[in-house]
């Protein structure tokens, strides 16, 4: 079997403006022309170009697969092999990867009568592009004037002495036209803004182990004690977690035994007044050398 013409090309499936982000990738490749072609095996790796797992097998002459399980902030890598009618498999192509940008900004209360300036690099993330390469669009400003200039986001009340609820929409798009979109609602207030921040450092632990975090130590809220906050979590497919509401401890481990690599996880705290604060952090599981079988 020859494999010289097998090429992976990534394109984006646009699914309409109602969706908050790029939520699917269409992986295309040129067909293998050998007469004994039978199947293609596509493998995927998340936030790594090494830890590939079987993703989908399709019969020739199908030459595309749609990945509908993607999320903002992650890097997706793919590689492909051809299988002939006798079950022989070619070597895999080199990996092709693409990252989806993510908006991590959280706003609760801003001081009226002045500008609030926030660095874009503090809340924008894209695994395969610098923040300076991302295009930021602002729309639907309600009682707020929002501008982007010189790497900063500036938010001002409109009119300048306004107090009360305000909002705007933000869209960030990378050079590959992948995007994330978020609606941000907050308050302009005369007093000092209330503090509500979640801060979780990036985590690292060994393969087949677990990591435990006392979540009350990761949040700073001036309105409510930590034990009055409710927690919710999202994670990539390679991780699993358990949160014990009594002990307030979050436990994280890999979904499958012996898995190692990097993934991302988000934690959101919700206060009794329904205000929220979130943080997104990376989880790196390091490989270990298993002892030889007896």
pLDDT in the model for residue 194: 66
Query: If pLDDT is split at 50, 70 and 90, which confidence band does 71 have?
Result: confident
Give how many domains the chain has, as a whole number. 3
Same domain, 93 and 21: yes
CATH code at 172?
2.60.40.10
- Within 13 A of 245's CA, how many CA atoms are on the CB side? 7
Same domain, 220 and 289: yes
Say if CB 72 and CB 102 are below 8 A apart: yes
What are the pLDDT digits (tens) for 112-139?
999 999 999 888 999 899 999 999 999 9
Say if CB 167 and CB 184 are below 8 A apart: yes
Whether the pLDDT of residue 10 is over 70: the answer is: no
Q: Mark which of 177, 193, 209 sits at the end of a domain.
A: 193
What are the pLDDT digits (tens) for 23-68?
888 888 888 888 888 999 999 999 888 889 999 999 999 988 999 8
Q: SS3 of 149, please? A: strand
> Measuring CA to CA, which residue among 149, 91, 86 is closest to residue 115?
149
Same domain, 202 and 181: no
Same domain, 92 and 112: no
Would residue 2 count as lying in a domain? Answer: no
Whether the pLDDT of residue 20 is over 70: the answer is: no
pLDDT in the model for residue 203: 93
pLDDT in the model for residue 9: 55
pLDDT in the model for residue 17: 35
Highest mean predicted confidence (pLDDT) among 69-73, 93-97, 209-213: 209-213
Same domain, 105 and 172: yes
Same domain, 216 and 252: yes
Q: Mark which of 138, 163, 193 sits at the end of a domain.
A: 193
What are the pLDDT digits (tens) for 199-223?
999 999 999 899 999 999 999 887 7
Q: Cα(first)–Cα(last) distance of the chain, in Å?
A: 39
What residues make up the domain containing 144?
Answer: 101-193
Whether the pLDDT of residue 294 is over 50: the answer is: no
Same domain, 23 and 92: yes
Query: If pLDDT is split at 50, 70 and 90, which confidence band does 284 have?
Result: very high
pLDDT in the model for residue 12: 42
Q: Mark which of 56, 79, 99 sits at the end of a domain.
A: 99
pLDDT in the model for residue 272: 81
pLDDT in the model for residue 242: 94
pLDDT in the model for residue 291: 53
Same domain, 160 and 108: yes
What are the pLDDT digits (tens) for 161-202?
999 999 999 999 999 888 999 999 998 988 755 678 999 999
Global confidence as pTM: 0.67
> Measuring CA to CA, which residue among 168, 172, 105 is closest to residue 141?
168
Contacts of 74 (CB under 8 A, 6+ apart): 46, 47, 99, 100, 127, 236, 263, 264
Same domain, 127 and 162: yes
Same domain, 90 and 121: no
pLDDT in the model for residue 205: 92
């Amino acid at each position: 079997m020859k494999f010289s013409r097998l090429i992976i090309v990534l394109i984006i499936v646009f699914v309409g403006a109602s969706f908050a982000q790029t939520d699917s990738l269409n992986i295309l490749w040129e067909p293998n022309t050998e007469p004994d072609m039978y199947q293609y095996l596509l493998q995927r790796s998340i936030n790594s170009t090494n830890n590939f797992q079987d993703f989908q097998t399709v019969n020739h002459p199908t030459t595309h697969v749609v990945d509908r399980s993607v999320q903002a902030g992650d890097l997706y890598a793919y590689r492909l092999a051809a299988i002939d009618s006798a079950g022989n498999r070619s070597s895999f192509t080199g990996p092709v990867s693409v990252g989806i940008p993510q908006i991590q900004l959280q706003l609760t209360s801003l001081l009226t009568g002045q500008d609030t300036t926030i660095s874009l690099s503090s809340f924008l993330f894209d695994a395969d592009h610098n923040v300076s390469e991302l295009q930021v669009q602002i729309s639907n400003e309600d009682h707020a004037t929002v501008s982007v200039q010189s790497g900063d986001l500036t938010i001002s009340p409109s009119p300048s002495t306004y107090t009360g609820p305000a909002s705007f929409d933000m869209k960030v798009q990378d050079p590959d036209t992948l995007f994330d979109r978020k609606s941000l609602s907050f308050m302009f207030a005369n007093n000092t803004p209330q503090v509500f921040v979640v801060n979780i450092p990036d985590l690292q632990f060994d393969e087949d182990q677990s990591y435990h975090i006392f979540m009350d130590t990761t949040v700073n809220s001036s309105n409510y004690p930590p034990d009055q906050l409710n927690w919710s979590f999202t994670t990539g497919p390679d991780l699993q977690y358990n949160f014990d509401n009594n002990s307030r401890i979050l436990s994280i481990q890999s979904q499958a035994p012996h898995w190692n690599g990097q993934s991302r996880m988000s934690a959101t705290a919700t206060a009794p007044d329904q205000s929220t604060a979130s943080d997104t952090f990376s989880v790196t599981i390091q490989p270990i050398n298993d002892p030889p079988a007896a």
